[in-house]
Amino acid sequence: MRKSGILMPMASLPGAYGIGTLGKPAFAFVDFLKKAGQSVWQLLPLSPTGYGDSPYQSCSAFAGSPYFIDLDLLRKEGLLKKGEYESLDYGKREAAVDYGKLYQVRFSVLRKAFARFSAWYPDDYYRFCYEQGWWLEDYALYMTAKGLNGGKHYLEWPEDMRLHQKEAIERLYAEHENEVHFWKFCQYEFRRQWMALKDHAAENGVELMGDIPIYVAADSADAWASPELFLLGKDGAPAEVAGCPPDAFSEDGQLWGNPLYSWDYHEKTGYAWWVRRIRYALEFYDRLRIDHFRGFDTYYAIPYGAKTAREGEWRTGPGMKLFCAVKQALGDVPIIAEDLGELFPSVYRLLKDSGFPGMKVLQFAFGPGDSEYLPHNHPVHCVVYTGTHDNTTAAAWFKTASPAERKKAAGYLGLNAKEGYAAGLVRGALASPGELCIIPLADHLGLGAAARINTPSTVNGVNWTWRALPDALSAANARKIAALTKLYARG
């Protein structure tokens, strides 16, 4: 069945208090998707943001961002009073997230809510802590220790704490139990609010498509508590880090800095950590996009301390051994493979053997030759995009593409200024034979470069900050999208 959906980060939703949240903003977006005839909401990772405000540099592979906890819902629970949060400064620009301001004020509000919550922990909270303890305990301890150490990288903590020694952990919990529970409380509320949103989406025929970053951050609860999962030196620092070589996104490649996996260790355990990670993600999402899928075939290893990604080299990943273990444990899982970048023949074989649909991006289609990204070459079993969160918007792409690309795109798709060049790319994606088409909301709206979500390999103060304005979710826009969806039989 042909379907379509919209790519929209949670952070980018319009609404009060500085950032999109799991309450009214998210519920309203689900309602908009239903009116627009959409079947899928694709999100970016919901994890706490890290270096450069990126959700792909998170301190946890399992935690949700406390920023997404809806304050109005906490008020309805009796945990906040409106005057405690309504008039605070969350940033001056309605169309941009101010992460600095959020950091300054959001946690102080959440601590007020926790103070009321902690007067008497409900049984449901204890049940949550017990069921999620396999990751939650180390995350809460990590966040507590990080706060006590001035936010420093865990490699700079006192040695016994840095090495996760039992006596240091017991002392941390005994002396700072309330702080540990604060971080557990944030995850408890995040999960409660998310599950209510998930139920609302299901009731309205909207599938939630999540995003699993392939790597975790170097400074993360995962690396601190489970160093055996990664290729780390005796001092705890990675010998090599992740990234990708020069490509269409960056002439110097992308230097991500994440620790690489010890795939030999993972194989010995039957890939238990990955199985658990995917099982956990499927509690939250109906579909999963795995970022940098090609890294499971061959991954790029860059010497620790390198200035650019040009110095790296390719290594062999786990391949189908990992996905066979996942299938044996979980059955057929609804995974979408992000198979972009430099692809070797072995990556195509892995994609075929896995049975997962790959991605086709129209912005890559109009170079020389008969590109695999041109719609007439799309297989049915794929997910089609005008662009991803790492691309500029469709409107901005047409302005900055080479003259040859613009000419080819205009001829192929019948692009014209009256309709709008972004609208033409949207038509081209929707017309593809691909079974699922995902359009970033900014492309449906014809927005320019200011609505770009991320520019890879840059830390520029605007990545991950774009927010839609309230009128973006108007009834007129919903009707326009619904008409296109019906025209291309994706309803």
Indicate which residues carry an active-site annotation: 291, 338, 390
Task: Cite the DSSP H helix spans in 155-293.
Answer: 159-162, 166-175, 177-203, 221-225, 263-268, 272-284
State the Cα–Cα distance between residues 378 and 433, nearest whole angstrom: 6
The phi, psi pair for 263, rounded to 5°, reads -65, -30
- The residues, ordered by sequence, that sit 6+ positions from 467 with a Cβ below 8 Å of its Cβ are 11, 12, 13, 14, 19, 20, 94, 95, 96, 97
Residue 230, number of CB atoms within 10 A of its CB: 21
Q: Cα–Cα distance between 2 and 490 in angstroms, integer? A: 5
The b/e string for 444-479 (b: 16+ C-beta within 10 A; e otherwise) is bbbbeeebbbbbbbeeeebbbbbbbeeebbeeebbe
Most distant CA pair in the chain: distance in Å? 69
Angle at 389 between CA 384 and CA 393, to 5 degrees: 80
Question: DSSP secondary-structure letter at 63?
Answer: P
Reference 58, options 43, 69, 66, 47; nearest CA is 47
Q: 357 Cβ partners below 8 Å, 6+ apart?
A: 336, 337, 381, 382, 383, 434, 435, 436
